[in-house]
Structure 1
Amino acid sequence: MAIPKRELSAYRQQLALCALRRLGKGAHTTGEVAEMMGTLALADGHPPAAWRWISPAAVAAHLRDLRNRGLALAGDPPRGGAYRAETTWQPAEPDPRAPLPAPPDDGETPGAGPDPLLSMGQGSSKPAAPSTSPYTELTQPQLVVLLEVNDRLLGTFARFVNDLVAETARARRDLAAAGIQLGDRQ
C-alpha cells in the first residue's frame, strides 16, 4: 500500500526542516540536506518508502517552501569555479536536537522501528509496544548506564555527520579552486 502523496510531502518537508536544523549554521547544498534526511530517517527506523526516493529537486522545492515560510534561509550560489552554481541553505533557527517528524504509515512495515541503541531519545512519536521491550527486566542503574551510552553514541554520530558534511564542503571548494570539475551528485 502506498503512502498518500499529501502525507508523504508533508512528512518530507518536516524531515527537510529537521535535517537542515540539525546541520546547523553554514552553507548546505540541497544534496547535503537530502543525505541528512535519509540518514536521520534510516537511523530512526522510518519506513523506506517514506524517504528512499527523495530527489534533490523535491528537496529543493521543500527548502524553497520553508524559505517562503521563514524557516530556512537561501544563500547566494558560489561564484566562479568550474562547477554548476547551486543555492545553499541554512536554517533560520539551528537546533542540533530538532525532533524528527513522525513517519507516515506505509501499511507494509509491521513492527518496523529504529534500532533502540541508535534512536532512544530521538523525535519519533511512535510509542513502543508495551511488554515486548527488551528493557523491561533491566534495573534502574542498568537503564541509566544504557541511556548514557546511547547519549554518547548519538553525540558521536552527530559529530561524525557534521564533520563529514563540513569536510565534503571543504573538499569541493578546494577542488573547485584547483579547477577540477565535479560531476553531479545524485
Structure 2
Amino acid sequence: MSTPDLHDDDELPPELRSALQDLPRERQPGRLLEERTVRALREHGVIEAAAPRRGIRRLPASWLGGAVAASLALFASGIAVGQWMGTRATAEVVSAVQAENSRNTAMLVQQTGTAYVQALSKLATTRDSGAHAAQGREVAVRMLRAAADELVRIAPDDPVASAVLAGFQKADTTKAAAGDKQRVVWF
C-alpha cells in the first residue's frame, strides 16, 4: 500500500483534508525569534544599538539650571507682587482710618465746643452770685485759655487765637501788678 502524497489533495481522506484546511496558513513568530533577529542585525551593523531605556529621564545641566532660575524668579516675583498688593491695601486702610479719625475728631471738637458754649450760657443765666458761680467762671476762663493754647499750637498763624492769648497775658500782668493771688481750681 502506498502512503498518500500530502501534495495531492485528491487522494487524502475527506476528514484529513478538512483538518488540513482548518490549519492556519501563517504563524506568528515567537519573541525569541525577534530578539535573535535584532541581535544579528546589530552585530552585522545594519541597525544601531539603542541606549537601554531606564525609568529616569536625564535632563541636560543647562535645562536644570534654567528651571531652577525660572523657579526662583517666579517665587521672587510672587513675593514682590504680594508685598506690593499688601502695602497698597494697608496704605488705603490707613488713609481711610486717618480720614475717619479726622472726621471723628472734628465732630468731637464741634460737640465739645457746643457743650462749652451751652454751659457758659447756662452759667450766665444763673442767679447765683456765690462761690459756685465764681468757680464756674474761673473754670470757663481756664478752659478758654487751654483751648486757645491748643489752637495756637495747631495753627500758629491764627490771629484770633493769638489775640485771645495776648489778652490772657495782659490780664496776667495786670493781676501780677495788683498783687492778686491766683486761685487754683481742681476738678
- TM-score (norm: length of structure 1): 0.21
Structure (1 or 2) with the greater helix fraction:
2
Q: Which has the higher strand share?
A: 1
TM-score by length of 2: 0.21
Larger RCO: 1 or 2 (CA < 8 Å, sep 6+): 1
